[in-house]
Amino acid sequence: MKFSELGLKDELLKAIKRSGFEEATPIQEQTIPLALAGKDVIGQAQTGTGKTAAFALPILQNLDKHNKVIQALIIEPTRELAIQTQEELFRLGRDENARVQVVYGGADIGRQIRSLKNHVPAILVGTPGRLLDHLKRKTINLENVNTIVLDEADEMLDMGFIQDIESILSYVKNRKQTLLFSATMPKPILNISEKFMNNPEIVRIKTKELTADLIDQYFVRAKDSEKFDIMCRLIDVESPDLAVVFVRTKRRVDEVTRGLQARGYNAAGIHGDLTQARRLTVLKRFRAGKLDILVATDVAARGLDISGVTHVYNYDIPQDPDSYVHRIGRTGRAGQNGSSITFVTPNEIGYMRTIEQLTKKKMTPLRPPSDDQALRGQLKVAKSKIEEIMKEDLSKYTDDANELLENYSAVDLVSAFLKNLSKDSSNVEVKISSEKPLPYKGNGRGGRGHYSRGRNSRGYRGDRNRSRGNYRGGHSRRSGNGRNFIIKNKKG
């Protein structure tokens, strides 16, 4: 369905068109008419399905631009997601001159207070803790809020924000509409809907609609100590335009990031222990295409909305099968194809089977590439770079080039140039601390209950293993008809 068929104002349709969208996603198509009609809505859909626009557009349509009070409140679980939601509201509401402000922890609350006092926003976006701080200080007034949005409600539950949310809702006594969006619907979320919502309409978008068609899902069976070298070779062969690498612990973010950088990859990492300014800087660079690879934990990447991600590497299999869907939702967006590659240790096969039950799609075994295939992939990228350089003006280098040609053959010079441009990363030693596989207590046929959230979910401090380029595809012989590699040019 086209956005023009949803009853939206011309100003909003102009902003949507400017963003390059015409067709509404399933969650937008089903939610926007209900929200415009003033109904309470529960939207169950995974990250990456367009939920932000599903609630942002009705809010912007119903704003009273002449009323200088907070009319809509949007609660987000993380600072990154709150900021992205604010940016989306700015983009969509630019022609409406919508006043939007975001408040979150880790930022100067004094500056937020002054901004709220001088320019009362029509839409306030915030994280639970900081919103409660402002409410206790009486620096925000929610008496005139018509619409409240609880976004990524299951994530807020996992992060322990349910009581905070209930406290915030008690301040919004005159609200006319509540919109709740969540990937899953555990009982505490349903309790909130029963307590604070009025006969909500339920919109469910099935997982299989989100992941089956546009995302190619593969798995590589490997020991923990083999993962890093295999992933490097995969990156060399696949040559992703933008890639996200998911790991289980903050320590692994740091180690994998340092390892990738040591081998010459353009990578950076984010996790909860980094300062807010550092995380925002990394995300801004990644969004602008100045980074090729982002390494992240699940919490740090939740709500990440970046177009153009071609590959997701699950370096560690997620501790919760629902998290897998969130992870792979980083790619395959806006009608573009994407690839997800999950590393599975022999003891974690049961986890993989549970994930396949959830997504209703089997992962395809992927045969790890050899060192020779990885080198050929590197050389393919290097030759592509040379072709780009050849288009430039090289006249000022000709004298030195002729001098070199007097001493060396053209073949030797080009070979040296190729060696310099390719990383030959197998010679760089990288140490990644080992982690024990997650304890599995199921038979591969169940859901979330088969996962244990014990010590290992926080990271087991095992011995350090040396990750080297000594893997010669041992597991590939057990992988059945694994996928063969096609070396391609990296897009400029």
pLDDT tens digits for range 284-295: 899 888 999 999
For residue 97, pLDDT over 80 is answered with yes
For residue 4, pLDDT over 70 is answered with yes
DSSP state, 114? Answer: H
Which helix H or strand E contains 110, and what residues bound it? helix 109-118
What domains, with CATH codes, occur in the chain?
3-205 (3.40.50.300), 209-368+426-478 (3.40.50.300)
What is the model's pLDDT at position 24? Answer: 84
Residues sharing a CB contact under 8 Å with residue 27, sequence separation 6 or more, in sequence order? 43, 45, 49, 50, 51, 54, 203, 205
pLDDT tens digits for range 9-19: 999 999 888 87
What is the model's pLDDT at position 304? Answer: 67
pLDDT tens digits for range 403-415: 888 888 888 888 8
For residue 395, pLDDT over 70 is answered with yes
What is the model's pLDDT at position 332? Answer: 72
Q: CA angle 18-24-27, nearest 5°?
A: 130
Q: 441 falls in which pLDDT band (50, 70, 90)?
A: very low
Q: CA angle 94-97-103, nearest 5°?
A: 85
Strand 464-467 relative to strand 430-433: parallel, antiparallel, unpaired?
antiparallel
What is the model's pLDDT at position 437? Answer: 65
Is the Cβ–Cβ distance between 349 and 67 less than 8 Å?
A: no
Length of the chain: 492
Mean pLDDT is lowest, of 101-105, 186-190, 269-273, 454-458, for 454-458
Mean pLDDT is lowest, of 64-68, 99-103, 219-223, 302-306, for 302-306
For residue 199, pLDDT over 50 is answered with yes
Q: 48 falls in which pLDDT band (50, 70, 90)?
A: low
What is the model's pLDDT at position 208? Answer: 46
What is the model's pLDDT at position 449? Answer: 36
**């925002």: which residue's tokens?**
280
Query: Which carries the bigger pLDDT value, residue 140 or residue 381?
Result: 140
For residue 209, pLDDT over 50 is answered with no
For residue 259, pLDDT over 60 is answered with yes
Question: How many angstroms separate the Cα of 122 from the Cα of each of 99, 176, 463?
Answer: 5, 16, 54
For residue 477, pLDDT over 50 is answered with no
Is the Cβ–Cβ distance between 64 and 54 less than 8 Å?
A: no
What is the model's pLDDT at position 344? Answer: 93
436: its two tokens: 């024990």
What is the model's pLDDT at position 334? Answer: 60
How far is C-alpha 348 from the geometric centre of its chain's CA atoms? 23
Residues of the chain with pLDDT > 70: what percent? 81
Q: 335 falls in which pLDDT band (50, 70, 90)?
A: low
